[in-house]
Amino acid sequence: MLRELPEKISTHIDALVDEMEDTFEKSLPTYADLAREAKKDIRELLKNLALLTSGFLAGEEMDREELYAFARMLGRNRSLQNIPFGDLVRAVFMVENIIWKRIVPEIHERDLSLEDWASIVYLQNELNSNLIAALSASYLETKDEMINRQLRELHGLLEVGRVIVSTTDLDRVFRQILEVATGIMQNPMGAVYLIGRDGDELELVSQVGLSPPWMRGRRIDLARSLLSEAIKEKAPVTAVGDRLKGLALPTPAKKGKVVSVLSCPIMEDDRPIGGLELYDVKPRVYDRLDMALL
């Protein structure tokens, strides 16, 4: 009945997703406030959702478990977890409405029977019931996991505070901060830096997961680090992929190379004295909770 629809949707997928993003920006403030990296991540999900939806409505054979698994993946996505569930459901229906705009011209060209219309409505209802049910289950499960994570974060912060008040050993304090940060954020690597006396260099004072020469005492130009941006902003910043070009990046102790960095300045009386950086060999999207914690 609508067999050609998936191919047509695929041909115009970028323009279609542009329309979806524009609709979200205007109608969903919780989406509009997301970081650029999160929106980039969501864009790929929208492409897959549009192709899956069009294929389903075209009557393509699809394993219901595959559809359910895709919806569960959406619910677990960290970028989407920043959007309230009600807005997420609205977004699903917005996607479907935009796709229907593409379907209507197809329908007008054909003389559909009542049975054909009934089939389309049935497929639409089945699609929605599967998507929303799986999305709801995985979204709530992930929220529970995030609550447990926040409890671990609180414990970690209390432990850091205990160390700070019980010792004057800065090396131990830096190490404790680093271990808690990498553990909470689940990063395999990280480092603490202090700004040199001239203000142009960073000195590495503690690290985990890095290999020589990225050891204690190593110096790098402040201007060639993401920390320079974090210090200017006086807030955590993150960068992935091409945004890291030209920066001095450490070498992992294990295989791979650094492709994502999260930088957080260390302040003393509103004056920057250094910073903490977390590294990963995988692209990472950090949510507002991550940034607020650091």
Q: What angle do CA 260, 138, 84 make, to 5 degrees?
A: 75
Provide mean pLDDT across the span 176-197: 85
Average pLDDT value for the chain? 80
Name the amino acid, one letter, at 205: V
In this structure, what token pair is assigned to residue 205?
A: 């004072």
End-to-end CA distance of the chain: 54
- Cα separation of 204 and 20, whole Å? 45
Query: Which of the listed residues 115, 147, 179 is the one where a domain comes to its end?
Result: 147
Predicted TM-score (pTM) of this structure:
0.52
156 is a domain residue: no
The residue that leads in pLDDT, 23 or 9, is: 23
* Residue 62 and residue 141 share a domain: yes
74 is a domain residue: yes
**pLDDT confidence of residue 226:** 94
Query: Which of the listed residues 114, 147, 180 is the one where a domain comes to its end?
Result: 147
Provide mean pLDDT across the span 122-132: 73
154 is a domain residue: no
161 is a domain residue: no
155 is a domain residue: no
Helix, strand, coil abundance in the chain, percent, nearest 5: 60, 15, 25
272 is a domain residue: yes
Q: What is the CATH number of the domain that holds 216?
A: 3.30.450.40
* Residue 237 and residue 204 share a domain: yes
pLDDT-wise least confident of 140-144, 234-238, 259-263: 140-144
* Residue 284 and residue 194 share a domain: yes
* Residue 189 and residue 120 share a domain: no
* Residue 266 and residue 195 share a domain: yes
| Number of domains the chain contains | 2
164 is a domain residue: no
Which one, of 281, 294, 289, 291, lies nearest residue 189 by Cα?
Answer: 281
Residues spanned by the domain of 211: 170-293
